[in-house]
Every structure is written in C-alpha cells, then in structure tokens.
Amino acid sequence: MKMSDLVTEYILKMLDESDGNAEIQRNELAGILGCVPSQINYVITSRFTPEQGYVVESRRGGGGYIRITRVTTDRRVALMHIVNSIGERISSAAAQAILGNMSAQGLISEYDRVLISSALSDNVYSNVPQEQRDFLRASIMKNMLITLVILQN
C-alpha cells in the first residue's frame, strides 16, 4: 500500500472515531506513520477537499494543528456542489476519482457509479478528437449528475 493511502486511511479512521472531526499535528502524524510532513500536506490537499466533502482549517506555529471536518449535507446540495466544481473540462482520471469519492460518501449508488463511469471512459471517446474529449466528458458528467438530482425529487 502506498504511503499516501496509509495516511488517508489513518485520517479517515480518526474522522470515523470522532464523529467527523479530526485535529492532527502534522509532525506528530508524520512520526507515527513514518513519513515526511510534506506527505501529510499532499494527502490533505489532494484527498480532503471541499469537493470531496471536507473542510480543512490550519493553524501555524508551535502549537499548530490541522483540523479536518467531514461535511454532511443534503445529497442534492452535495451533488450540485460537485457539478459546479467540475468546470469546462475534466480528465478521465479526475472524473473516476470524483465518482469513487461520491460512491464512498454514499452520494451515488455503486450502480450509478459504474454506469456514469462507463459513459465517461476514454474508450467511449475514441472517435472524438483528443482536444475535445475532456470538454465533452465534463458536459456529460454534469448532465448525468443533474439528472440524478432531478430524479431525487
């Protein structure tokens, strides 16, 4: 298992054990897991983002900390937040990561994840010019997520 996966797993366990709130000291956590503090920063900035349902606060200095809070919101609000965060283009890897996070958070079912994932796969866009694929993928992903919001009514 990669170090970033271990750090993520450790932080998620902390969040689960403390009702969605974890306060960590970067150097202390790095010591516990046997990694460098910058690895902790990387994991937090890449895997605990608002798009993934987390709020991160930090305080610098000797007594500094990083506080991570899992945001629990209405499913429709969360889906629309994700739609708005996608932008004009999205890579296949980024789309798959978002879908995986949405499934893990219970925002979409595993069935929906697999179905949307197949529609966003690079295999589907083989006849589309390379420079247009990410634009088309973003448009289709947004439309599919908006449809899930509409169907929820």
Digit-coded pLDDT (tens) for 116-139 = 999 999 899 999 998 999 999 999
CATH of the domain at 20: 3.30.56.130
Q: Which two tokens stand for residue 134?
A: 């990410």
Indicate the number of domains in the chain. Answer: 2
Using the structure block, give the residue that is written with the tokens 């930090």. Answer: 58
User: Are residues 91 and 63 part of one domain?
Assistant: no
Gyration radius (Cα) of the chain, Å: 17
User: Are residues 131 and 103 part of one domain?
Assistant: yes
Percent of the chain with pLDDT over 70: 95
- Residue 8 near residue 43 (C-beta atoms within 8 A): yes
User: Are residues 39 and 105 part of one domain?
Assistant: no
Last residue of a domain, one of 53, 70, 87: 70
Reported as a single tens digit per residue, the pLDDT across 21-57 is 899 988 899 999 999 988 998 999 888 887 677 888 8
pLDDT band at 112 (very low <50, low <70, confident <90, very high): very high
- Domain hosting residue 49, numbered range: 3-70
Count of H helices and E strands in the chain? 7, 3
User: Are residues 42 and 99 part of one domain?
Assistant: no
Alpha carbons 45 and 53: distance in angstroms, whole number = 13
Task: Indicate the residue type of 46.
Answer: S
pLDDT band at 7 (very low <50, low <70, confident <90, very high): very high
What local confidence, expressed as pLDDT, does residue 153 receive?
59
Core vs surface per residue 39-72: b (16+ CB within 10 A) or e: bbeebbeebbeebbbbeeeeeeeeeeebebbbee
User: Are residues 113 and 83 part of one domain?
Assistant: yes
What pTM value is reported for the model?
0.59
- Please list the residues that pair with 54 across neighbouring strands: 70
What local confidence, expressed as pLDDT, does residue 111 receive?
95
Helical (H) or strand (E) element with 69? strand 65-70
User: Are residues 46 and 16 part of one domain?
Assistant: yes
- Please list the residues that pair with 83 across neighbouring strands: none
* Of 64-68, 87-91, 97-101, 113-117, the least confident: 64-68
